[in-house]
Amino acid sequence: MKALIETIVNPLVDYPEDIQVDVKEEERKIVYHLTVNQEDVGKVIGKNGRIAKAIRTVVYAAGSDSKKRIYLDIM
Amino acid sequence: MKQITATGQTVEEAVQSALEQLQTSRDLVEVEIIDEGKKGFLGFGSKPSIVKVSKVHAKEETPEQEVNTELKKQETVPDININVQAETEESETELPAHDPIEEAERYIKAIASDMGASVEVKTTVNGREVHFELIGDKIALLIGKRGQTLNALQYLLHLTINRYTDQYYTAVLDAEGYRNRRKATLETLASRLSEKALKSNQDVKLEPMPSYERKIIHTALQNNRKVETYSAGNEPKRYVVIRPSK
């Protein structure tokens, strides 16, 4: 899942080396926390959060067969 | 007049390199930018900046002292164009420019395989429109409810394909003929709801849809004189309204 998030975000940003995905597993959910370079924040959120929404849709679809609920935090 | 073509990572670097080779200063030359260069995509496709720097003939514009040195220089240096490759090591090791369409193809394949649904991609380019057809086993996972995953992937694909091109591409992502099936569904829905609007003599609002799906509805009812259609609301929750004509 971590690899998927990185694959998606990589070509969207100017500083791919600064992409960081932290995983926090809780009792009933797994939270992925995505951070990118300060200058790239807009590129992963987009106008009205359109890009963020698209990233979440894909990530949640991939996590649909896991038992725990998946969340993606951006920044 | 002496001319020199130089390359560098940026326009500024290229100009600097040319000035060094001509042993002159910035205000004594005319700079013509041949290629601005590109930063590249994932380390691919970067292009060095190329500039053509011409020494302005010194006679009219510079004081006499300088004219003398200038003339001397011109005697010793033949008046020909010299091509100097001043590319840095980095750009030499870089791969040749990659096709944005190929990049996009690789991108969608990587995402699908990370999602656990390996796919084959069949790409057709039709002018500005690039059509990607996904073929594989777990295609349902990639389509999602009402195609929402497919639409999200299409949007991401659209962003990456247009990232480093001057041309503007429209990316259409399809999986196992989903778009055509959806089109048929929407056309049936359109004709059913137009009848409902006529029967009740009231406006019928449809659920929010992306622009190309709304277009299918508008097109389907275009030739129906009894109803008219328009879109209302703001993206991403814009929806079609079918209204009985007066």
pLDDT given at position B50? 73
How far apart CA B109 and CA B117 sit, in angstroms, is 9
Indicate the pTM of the whole model.
Answer: 0.66
- Structure tokens belonging to residue A13: 């940003």
Q: Answer yes or no: is pLDDT of A25 > 80.
A: yes
Among B1-5, B6-10, B54-58, B74-78, name the most confident range: B6-10
pLDDT given at position B221? 96
pLDDT given at position B87? 44
For residue B118, give the nearest of B136, B103, B104, B106 by alpha carbon.
B136
In angstroms, the separation between the Cα of residue A17 and the nearest Cα of chain B is 10
In this complex, is the C-beta atom of A66 within 8 Å of any C-beta atom belonging to chain B? no
pLDDT given at position B4? 73
How far apart CA B56 and CA B59 sit, in angstroms, is 9
Let me know how long chain A is. Answer: 75
- Give the pairing of strands A20-25 and A29-35: antiparallel
In this complex, is the C-beta atom of A55 within 8 Å of any C-beta atom belonging to chain B? yes
**pLDDT mean across residues, chain B:** 80
User: For the residues of B141-167, what is the DSSP string, one character each?
Assistant: HHH-GGGHHHHHHHHHHHHHHHHT-SS
Task: Inspect the interface and report whether the beta carbons of A50 and B236 lie closer than 8 Å.
Answer: yes
What integer is the mean pLDDT of B227-242? 93
How many CB contacts within 8 angstroms connect chain A with chain B? 59
Confidence of residue B60 (pLDDT cuts 50, 70, 90): very low
Between B41-50, B121-130, B206-215, the lowest mean confidence (pLDDT) is in B41-50
Instruction: Write the CA distances from B137 to A58, B20, B97, B133, B173, integer angstroms.
Output: 17, 60, 33, 13, 17
For residue A70, give the nearest of A18, A27, A31 by alpha carbon.
A31
Q: Answer yes or no: is pLDDT of B144 > 90.
A: yes
Report the interhelical angle of A50-62 vs A2-9 (nearest 10°). Answer: 150
Task: Respond yes or no on whether the N-terminal peptide bond of residue B236 is cis (omega within 30° of 0).
Answer: yes
pLDDT given at position A54? 95
